[in-house]
Structures are given as structure tokens and as C-alpha cells.
Amino acid sequence: MLERIGSPRDLRGLTYPELSELSSEIRDFLVDNVSRTGGHLGPNLGVVELTIGIHRVFESPHDSIVFDTGHQSYVHKLLTGRQDFSSLRRRGGLAGYPARQESVHDIVENSHASTALSWAAGIARGHTLRGETGRTTVAVIGDGALTGGMAWEALNSLGDSRDRVVVVVNDNGRSYAPTIGGLARKLDGIRIDRRYEDFLGWGKRTFENRGRLRNFAYLSVMHGKRALKGLLTDPGVFSDLGLKYIGPIDGHDLRHVETALAQARDFGGPVIVHVLTEKGRGYIPAEQDAADRFHAVGQIHPETGLPIEASRFGWTSVFADEIVEIAQERPDVVALTAAMLAPVGLQPLADRYPERVIDVGIAEQHAVTSAAGLAYAGLHPVVAVYATFLNRAFDQVLMDVALHRAGVTFMLDRAGITGDDGPSHNGMWDMALLRHVPGLRLAAPRDEPTLRSALRDAIEVDDAPTVVRYPKGAVGAPVPALRRVGDLDVIAEHGDNPRVVVVGLGSMATTAVGAAEKIAADGFATLAATATWVHPVPEGLEELIAGADLVVTVEDGLTDAGIGEEWAAYARLAGVRAEWAHHGVPREFLQHATRAQIVDDLGLDPSAIADATLARLEQD
């Protein structure tokens, strides 16, 4: 069946038994392929029938379909002619999120959550203003992403419009973990309402006895004695915003899904379609997992779901271990997460001190400002977040934390080049952005000991924001300091009176060591150095580079306005005569590839740094 689907129009001539077979084939395909490459497995297993229904009712790309956050778009890719998953999330293969260069059916590439409704509102208003009244915009958003404040800003705007927007709430009760907050309780209430259970069973029997019903208004009238109008048209939280509501719908019953979507399409204005799905459906290991291990997976054994290779002790695990030890010593330490309790390493702390870990949902802005409030109340909050997601709350870091001199610590996981999740997930912007925040102090530890010490140092600061950034993946061997110069560590030395100083920041410290060795092999006295706290400029920089002809900086953040440029500007003002060469990430979006491939492309490996340095020395 799957081989017969080259575009969405191929779905429309299939019978429901054939569509059921197709759904099974898609799930088998996903398990088989994603287990080989890694990727987002659980979310896609849960939206098979829903995605089929969307493509049967709406005509993409004439009708615009937007996914939030996009990691549940694998089924959409399959139905729009992209069935080669052999290189998923690898260079030259399919992206793990919608990608415009792949297909006209893909619109929004950003995989940051809670944005799809704003995109949909803008697209739909554009169609209205252009007189394209026959086009519908569909936004598929999970209940987890619906906890983001931006989504509610968009709902508020949509409620005041008459644009043709269908908001499909894919409600599986989870994001990376069980969805939390007042909205989650509201959806739970609808989901478990006995009237809904009665209605669902009655509706299915009606379908069996009478065939496909024309619309859910008919259902509501026929079952009015059960007071289903409230469930079918106006649950308070949505009706108060001026939005029509249909649901809740069994997201794995394709007939129900299509009927609800068709009614929403024909309404001609903004409609919420509330669809209940099961994350990981059809794959027993995922269905039985309570920890959302299958939200995103590496390579796994498809039969068992177990990893093919055991993951090495990683940076996140170091933080997870150290924060628990600190919390035992300091009762004022609390932690916040934006719906990513386990991915950022806060699960052990939540297990030990559940009242001291706050999950705010996918709401980074709220997390940061509420952290400022916690600091004002006498606590020391630790906000753990992926580096790429702190971009969303820059204003709050600037105006709520820094302006108020709040002692808040930010732990930026997945900082620097991450690779396979593509341009939206590389944590490459943080240092260039954050170094402009008054009073902020930023650390880039190079190994496990310096991460542990940086976290403890950060929590001692109670009058300014502190940031500790660290990369994705396994922690390498410790990089010991041979000696200290002020607040800088010398980590390799080749000869006296070095002509070249190579500074590696954070995870690039080992790169500096390797580059220094290669440069020295060509006859130049060379020193490699690093610092744990990189902003403001560490004390001892002038002494470290005194007498050097060339200072080379290597960082896994933006070169423009990065830490290297900050240090160079400081040195020039101090009258240091050395020339500077900066190596880092250019100001451009990096397409998905492995981290090693990107590092090689950007010339950030030791050999490339050494070659560029030697070429510069020869010119001089």
C-alpha cells in the first residue's frame, strides 16, 4: 500500500480497509527505519491516522499544513512522496523536521515549539487579504506545545478573526513528558468526561449502522439528551476565546477524524479540533514505556527498543549528579524546566526533592521571569534549558533578571554545534547574545571537573545572572591545567617564549591542544590555553599573551561578536601588540549533518586550525 502513495491525492481513492492496512505499513516502516537512523519515533507512531485524515480532507499545498513543532512530520513526509528514510537526519538525507527544500508541502522549518498557530494566523490572513477564500490553513499542535504562551497569543488573535484556520490539537497528554499545568487539567477533564465516553461509543455504533455521518452537528442533535453540546461545540476555555470547538475525537478512528476535519473545513472560520492520540501507538516497547524513552531515539534494536550501543556518561549526567549534591547542601536551590525534565538532567533532582523542581511547560519566557521572582523571594533558581531555546527568552534574561540583578543560574545544555537536528537546534547563538547582557557572567567548562566547579561557582553569585554552557554528548577525558595565569589555564606548552597562543573555549579546549602540537611541530613555540569563566574577559589575559605574535581563538559559537572578538578588543585597548585570528561558526544556518562533519566543514578541527595558523605566520 505505501509504495502506491506518491502524493496525497493517491489517498483519496482508497477504501477504509485499505487505509487501515496503509496505517499498519506506515508504523512498520517507521519502526524499521528510525531504529536504524535514530529520530523521533513515538510522536510519529501516534499521528498516523491523523495525518492520513488531514491529507484526505485538505488539499496540500493549496491548503497550507503547518506542524508544531515538526518532529511529528515523518508520516507527512511519507504521504508527500518522500519514502527514502535511509539517511534520515544525515547529510544529504531527509531532515528530521519539515524542510522547504525537500517539498512544496513543507512550510515551516522552525522546530521551536508553540509557533505554528502564529504562522497559521498569518498565512490565513494573507489568503483572506488576497481574496483566496477557498484556501484553508491547518495547524497541527500537540497539547504540550499548547502550553507555550505564544500559542495562546495566537489563539487570542484567531478568536477575533474570521479567517479559515483549523487548529488540530493532537492531545496525547505528553510532550517530552506528561503535559502539566491548568490546560493539561482542562484537557484531561474533557478526555475523561463520561459524556465523551458515552458519545464516543454511541458515535462509533452509529457509524457502523448508518455509514458516515455528514457532520457532528447532527451527532449533537441526535444525542442532545446527553448534554453533549458543551463537548462538541463550546468547552469553556476555547469558547471564551471566540473559537468553535469539535471533539474530543478518537485520533485513531479515521472515519471520525475525517468527519470532524471536514466539518471544521466547511465552517469557514477558526475551529479547534481536539484529537486524542496515543504516543508510540502500535509499537509495544513504546506503548509500555512510561518515561518517554521513545520520543526521540538513537539506533535501537527494533524488536526490543533497546539501544544498539550503550550511551556514554554525558555532560547532562554530570549536571544531573552535581545539582542533586548541591541541593542536599543548600535548601535554597530550586530548579526550573520548560517541559524537558529528563532531557536536561533534572529528573534525579525531581525524584529526590519534587517540591523544588518546577516544570512550567513549553514556556521559556515564563520560566526565566518566574526565576527572577524566585530569586527575589530569597531562593537561588537554576534554569536548565537547551541553549537554542534560551534564545526565546532573551528579553526576559535582559530585562527581568539582569536589570533586577537577580541571582539566577542558567544551565545551557546542547550548547554549540549539535548537528543532526538541523539549523534550529544548533546552540551556537548564546555566547554572542549573552555577552551583551550587563553584569552577566558566562562559563564554558571543558570537562567534568570544570563543569562541576562552574556550577558551584555560579550558584554562589546572588546579584547577577550566571550562565554555564556545555555541549551535547559524552564527556571526554579531563584536560588538566599545567599551570594557571590569573583565571586562565595553560593546557599545553611547546617551547619557551611562545610566538603563538591558541585559546580553545569550552569543548574546543582539546582542539586547541591538538592544534598547538601541530603548529609546534613546524618550529614555532606554541602555548594552548583555556578558561572556565570566559565572560567577562578573565584576569590574566594580558600576561598570558604578552610577547606572542599571534593569538588564535577557537569557539563553537558565532565568530562575529563572539568571545574571541571580545577578548581581542579588550587586549587592543590594553595596548597588547599581538595579532588575532578567530575561528568559530559563521553567521549562517547550518544544515543537518553530524557534528564531526560540520566541524570539518567549518575548519574547526586541529589540523585545519594549525594549517590556517601556519599560513598566517608565513604571510607575516
Which is nearest to 409 in space by CA: 477, 332, 482, 474? Answer: 332
CA angle (420 as vertex; 415, 421 as ends), nearest 5 = 70
Give the N- to C-terminal CA distance of the chain in Å, as an integer: 66
Phi, psi for residue 584 in degrees, rounded to 5: -170, -150
Return the active site residues.
Answer: 279, 364, 392
Q: Give the three cell numbers for residue 391.
A: 534564545
Q: Annotated binding residue at 102?
A: no
Ordered DSSP codes for 235-293: -HHHHTTT-EEEEEEETT-HHHHHHHHHHHHHH-S-EEEEEE--TTTT-HHHHT-SS-T
C-alpha cell at 406: 537577580
Residue 364 is labelled as binding a ligand? yes
Indicate the helix (H) or strand (E) that contains 358: strand 357-359
Asked if residue 335 lies in contact with residue 360, where contact means CB atoms within 8 angstroms, the answer is no
Instruction: Quote the CA–CA distance of 165 and 114 in Å, as a whole number.
Output: 16
Consult the annotation and say whether 99 binds a ligand: no
71 belongs to an annotated ligand binding site: yes
| 43: nearest Cα among 345, 286, 304 | 286
Query: Is position 353 annotated in a ligand binding site?
Result: no
Residue 352: CA count within 13 A, CB half-sphere: 17
Greatest CA separation found in the chain?
91
- Distance CA(17)–CA(458), nearest Å, equals 60
- Eight-state DSSP code of residue 589: P
d(CA 495, CA 342): 46
Q: How far is the C-alpha of 525 from the C-alpha of 520, rounded, in Å?
A: 6
Establish whether 439 is an annotated binding residue. Answer: no
CA distance 1 to 18: 8
Instruction: Tell me: is residue 531 an annotated ligand-binding position.
Output: no
The helix (run of H) or strand (run of E) holding residue 173 is none
Write the single-letter amino acid at 520: A
Annotated binding-site residue numbers: 71, 111-113, 143-145, 172, 283, 364
Annotated binding site for Mg(2+): 143, 172
Residue set of the binding site for thiamine diphosphate = 71, 111-113, 144-145, 172, 283, 364
